[in-house]
Amino acid sequence: MSAPLLQVNDLKKHFPIRGGIFSTVTGYVFAVDGISFTIEKGETLALVGESGCGKSTVGKALLRLFDLTSGQVVLDGQRIDQLSNSALRPLRRRIQVVFQDPFSSLNPRMKVRDILAEPIHNFGLLTDKADIDKRVGDLMEKVGLRRDAIDRWPHEFSGGQRQRIGIARALAADPDLIICDEAVSALDVSVKAQIVNLLCDLQQELGLALLFISHDLAIVEHMTHRVAVMYLGKIVEKGTRDDIFRAPMHPYTRALLSAVPIPDPDIKPNRIILKGDVPSPMKPPKGCRFNTRCPYVFDRCKSEEPKLEILGHKHRAACHLNDLPPDQNPMLNEALRV
């Protein structure tokens, strides 16, 4: 089996909190606290969880927008987490990003032609102006926009069209992996579906890998190969789409899934309402981080942190309930959908 395109090992990002007149470190925000995952060539991995769980920090860490606290990021067999900016420069082309907000992510003072030509020029992919113009036109068509619209300004496009331009800009660098950071969250429902379909088509056509960061499991279900569920800086469950959507083995995953609307009116969701708010990432709870909100919490959960245990070929979950015999596991005795 070939090595994965991206391998993340025990990634941590702790942001220092400074205070006092000497700006001394008084604590840390444990935004990402030891997560590991892989993405194969041409594969989509969805990273899901509530707002503030650390999933966007993972995306930024992979883009090396800041230094990691610890851990390894390996791209196509090469460690990139410790490379200097100059050594990293040629590799930056290979990981691109599409941001959430199609209105603020495009420079309003640049025409679309220049927005799309910039990465081509910066990464030295083409130098001849006619070649660049042709490539920019091709990119517009690839994302479903007219090639003669390249001399328009970003404000002349709708939100969905701007997100298409954002995708074209990511493609312009000829990447292997695109990080979609809540890339459809700000769009209307119908436009959301169009953009997701476009991403799926492009993935198949170009063999791209996608890291799809989202809080919206309804969108993820239709487009991902594998899912990793994050809670308070940790991955609490990961597996194939079927593992996560058909046989979730962590109470947090089940709570997230119970909130997904079901199109069939004959099926009633068994909605799991979590109590309380997500604890502060500055002071995560001892033991299992989910213990302050978990409907099945028991003594062991408050003292011992559960590890991600193997439940199936690619299925892993971090919950002490999975050590119990199935007939004594209260979570398994409650149907998700009734």
Find the binder of ligand SF4 among 80, 106, 301, 336 (CB under 6 A). Answer: 301
Q: By rule CB under 6 A, what count of residues binds ligand SF4? A: 13
Helical segments of 181-289, H only: 189-206, 217-221, 241-246, 251-258
Q: What are φ and ψ of residue 176, in 5° steps?
A: -100, -30
Which of the residues 245 through 274 are near ligand SF4 (CB under 6 A)? 250-251
Compare residues 88 and 259 and give the one whose CB is closer to ligand SF4.
259
Is 209 in contact with 176 (CB distance < 8 Å)?
yes
Nearer of residues 132 and 288 to ligand SF4, judged by Cβ: 288
Q: In what order do the strands lie in the sheet with 70-75?
A: 24-39, 6-19, 70-75, 78-79
Q: Considering the complex, state which of residue 66 and residue 298 has its C-beta at the smaller distance from ligand SF4.
A: 298
Least Å distance between CB 328 and ligand SF4?
A: 13
235 binds ligand SF4 (CB under 6 A): no
- What is the nearest approach in angstroms of ligand SF4 to the Cβ of residue 300? 7
Q: Which helix (H) or strand (E) holds 46?
A: strand 44-48
What residues from 279 to 298 belong to the interface with ligand SF4 (CB under 6 A)? 288, 290-291, 294, 296-297
- Residue 36: partners with Cβ closer than 8 Å, 6 or more residues away: 8, 9, 10, 11, 235
Q: Are 39 and 28 in contact (CB under 8 A)?
A: no
Of the two residues 151 and 299, which places its CB atom closer to ligand SF4 in the complex? 299
What number of CA atoms fall less than 13 Å from residue 169's CA on the CB side?
Answer: 26
Assess contact for 62 and 179: CB atoms under 8 A.
yes
Q: How far is the CB of 291 from ligand SF4 (least distance, A)?
A: 4
Which C-beta is closer to ligand SF4: that of 154 or that of 287? 287
Q: Kindly state the smallest distance separating residue 286's Cβ from ligand SF4, in Å.
A: 11
Buried b (16+ CB within 10 A) or exposed e, 23-54: eeeeebbbbbbebbbebbeebbbbbbbbebbb
Closest of 97, 63, 81, 87 to residue 10, by C-alpha:
81
Check: CB of residue 281 under 8 Å from CB of residue 30. yes
Cβ nearer to ligand SF4, comparing 239 with 251 = 251
What mask, x for binding ligand SF4 by CB under 6 A, covers residues 311 to 330?
--------xxx---------
Nearer to ligand SF4, 186 or 297 (CB): 297
- Residue 230: how many other CB atoms lie within 10 Å: 23
Q: Measured from the CB atom, is 141 or 299 closer to ligand SF4?
A: 299
Of 78, 33, 56, the residue nearest 211 (C-alpha): 56
CB of 270 to ligand SF4, least distance (A): 17
Tell the smallest beta-carbon distance from residue 155 to ligand SF4 (Å).
47
CB of 129 vs ligand SF4, minimal distance in Å: 58
Question: At closest approach, how far in Å is the CB of 272 from ligand SF4?
Answer: 12
Q: Which is nearer to ligand SF4, 24 or 280 (CB)?
A: 280
Residue corresponding to tokens 């991995």: 45
Among 30, 112, 306, 308, binds ligand SF4 (CB under 6 A): 306
In a 3-state reduction of DSSP, which class is residue 32? strand
Query: Residue 287: which region, alpha, beta or left (left: phi > 0; alpha: psi -120 to 50)?
Result: left
Shortest distance, position 235 Cβ to ligand SF4, whole Å = 13
Positions touching ligand SF4 (CB under 6 A) are 250-251, 288, 290-291, 294, 296-297, 301, 306, 319-321
